[in-house]
Amino acid sequence: MRCIVIQSCMMAAVASFAGGFPLEKASCGVFSPDGRSVAFQQEQDGRLAVGVLRLDTGCVEWVEKGPGNAFHPAWTPDGGLVYACGHLTLSAYEARKRNSDEGYNIRLWKNGVKKDLTHGRWRDSTPSVSPDGRTVWFATTRGAARPGLCVQGNNYMYSCPIEGGEATLRRTSPGERSGGGVSQPVQSPDGRFLAWAEVDVCGDVWHIMCARVEDLDRACRLTTTKMPSYAPRWSPDGRRIVFTGCKAGDPGWCVYVMDVYAGTIGRVCEGREGAFSPDGRQIVYETTQGSLVLRPFEADKVPWETLEEESPFRDVSAEKVLWSAENVKPGGPAQPLPEGFNTSAKTLFVRARIAAGNRKIGFEHIFCGSFKEHSHAFQLYFEGKGLPYWATRHSDGTFAGVSVKQLPKDFEGTMTGVRHGDMCIIKVDGQPAATSLAPNGLMQCLGPRTFTVGPVGGEGAASRPFKGRIDKLEIGVGWPSNLPLPPTRKEFFK
């Protein structure tokens, strides 16, 4: 064990860490279950190492210190650690070419003994351990269309037994095919809920999500689109979540605390990656200078504000089908869009019950609605790689699209595209809905409104009709009845 002398005496060492002499180049600090130690990651010569700081002595025991990187430590209830680590000797291209299994995986450390919990050419990261100590939660790239390390983000949430065994997919980022991702899953102390960070589409902001452990696809959003947020961690009593966020007027990333039952939020200090002590009276966090420090947490001194909750589904109206047809044949001339299907309506939808009929991979249109000012304003189609896609336009004319997983070639079921306010949503049978957030504002659509089934005119890919069967096509306004409404914070935390 190697000791880092912070000051010359034992008591001063504790005070120095808590006060004016922080642990430099360190982050992701987390208290041990007994409150006597803090695990952390630290940059050393361009690489990350994981260590444990003993608060009574100021000494550091290095858990993983190269070669390679180790990061995102989390404690087990019995005093062990899980963390992500890996030593990559090949580029992502070379690893794929050689079919190498190099990656970043999850490792367990306990009483000086190490055990690999996952293995493979993935990027496993941000692990945490369930309150009963049996399950490890983590984010990963495994399952991506092109598995490996050169993907946009950790699109999937998995769990695995801490005693060893196969990892299980628990949640897919709804925007996985549009640059979305998940990170930092952590279970509440009573085991009922899971909180995590999620981004719907590349370019959107990260936000905090929460769901019951038994149904992670039915999740509520705890932070708004106006507040980028990540790194949630529960308080010991399960009432609060500390997280990193940034609101208008903040100097930068700040440590925030949310009371999920009271529906309030308060800024603790500037910094990031906060975590509560076991008694809830302290928070360890990373300063803006990149050092790890402690500070007391006193709930009565936090400037609490009412949590701004986006409730885009609060006043939704029931669906109203404006146009419907069965056994629709792709092709034919453009038809007028029904009255009422325009951007003054809060919610618009297109729903198609289809049979893919062993379709080939390629670009195929099911529906395209156009306005004089905005051609291809609403599109339900399969893109070039065969992914189901729903696209509308922003107020400036640029596209907002969202996709879900590739469907079986013989898929039979319903695809629904929804434009609700500034949200673009797609729902396909057998998969959770995916959402993209468009900029605020309505398209200016004053001229003639038409739609086509299948080809949309012109040459090339845009004129390819859907080659399967369209059993039913519906165009309407209001919230489609086949989409369950997302839960709210109040529904979970009464």
Could you say which of 251, 283, 306 is where a domain stops? 306
How many beta carbons lie within 10 A of that of residue 227, not counting itself? 20
Q: Are residues 377 and 457 in the same domain?
A: yes
Q: Are residues 332 and 298 in the same domain?
A: no
Q: Are residues 424 and 288 in the same domain?
A: no
How far apart are the C-alpha atoms of 185 and 457, rounded to whole Å?
A: 46
Q: Are residues 338 and 458 in the same domain?
A: yes
C-beta separation of 44 from 65 below 8 A: yes
CA-wise closest residue to 217 among 171, 260, 158, 276: 171
How far apart are the C-alpha atoms of 3 and 362, rounded to whole Å?
A: 61
Residue 91, both tokens: 């580029």
Establish whether the linkage from the previous residue to 67 is cis, with ω within 30° of 0.
Answer: yes
Asked whether residue 312 is assigned to any structural domain, the reply reads no
How far apart are the C-alpha atoms of 435 and 258, rounded to whole Å?
A: 24
CATH number at residue 93: 2.120.10.30
Asked whether residue 488 is assigned to any structural domain, the reply reads no
Scanning the structure block, which residue is given the tokens 């099911």? Answer: 366
How far apart are the C-alpha atoms of 200 and 437, rounded to whole Å?
A: 8
| Domain interval for residue 412 | 320-477
Please give the single-letter amino acid code of residue 32. S
How far apart are the C-alpha atoms of 115 and 118, rounded to whole Å?
A: 9
Q: How many domains does the chain have?
A: 2
Per-residue pLDDT of the chain (494 residues; tens, 9 = 90+): 333 333 323 222 333 344 333 789 999 999 999 999 999 999 998 899 999 999 988 889 999 998 899 999 999 999 999 999 999 888 777 877 888 888 899 999 999 999 999 998 889 999 999 999 999 999 998 865 444 333 445 678 999 999 988 999 998 876 655 667 899 999 999 999 999 999 876 667 899 999 999 999 889 989 987 899 999 999 999 999 999 999 999 999 999 999 999 999 999 999 999 999 999 999 999 999 999 999 999 999 999 999 876 666 767 889 999 999 999 888 778 888 888 887 666 888 999 999 987 666 678 889 988 877 777 888 999 887 778 889 887 666 677 778 887 888 788 999 999 988 777 889 999 888 887 765 444 455 545 677 888 755 443 344 577 888 999 999 999 999 999 888 889 999 98
Predicted TM-score (pTM) of the model is 0.80
Asked whether residue 486 is assigned to any structural domain, the reply reads no
Question: What does the DSSP 8-state code read for residue 358?
Answer: S
Q: Are residues 34 and 94 in the same domain?
A: yes
| Phi, psi (degrees; rounded to nearest 5) at 364 | -145, 130
H-assigned helices in 381-427: none
Residue 99 Rama label (left phi>0; alpha psi -120 to 50; beta) = left
Cα angle 192, 194, 195; round to 5: 140
Strand arrangement, sheet containing 291-296: 23-24, 291-296, 282-286, 272-276
CATH number at residue 392: 2.60.120.200
Q: Are residues 302 and 347 in the same domain?
A: no
Could you say which of 306, 340, 369 is where a domain stops? 306
Q: Are residues 290 and 390 in the same domain?
A: no
Asked whether residue 432 is assigned to any structural domain, the reply reads yes
C-beta separation of 319 from 479 below 8 A: yes
Q: Are residues 209 and 338 in the same domain?
A: no
Q: Are residues 296 and 328 in the same domain?
A: no
Could you say which of 279, 306, 333 is where a domain stops? 306
CA-wise closest residue to 269 among 285, 280, 258: 285
Please give the single-letter amino acid code of residue 371. F
How far apart are the C-alpha atoms of 158 and 141, rounded to whole Å?
A: 10
Q: Are residues 296 and 359 in the same domain?
A: no
Asked whether residue 485 is assigned to any structural domain, the reply reads no
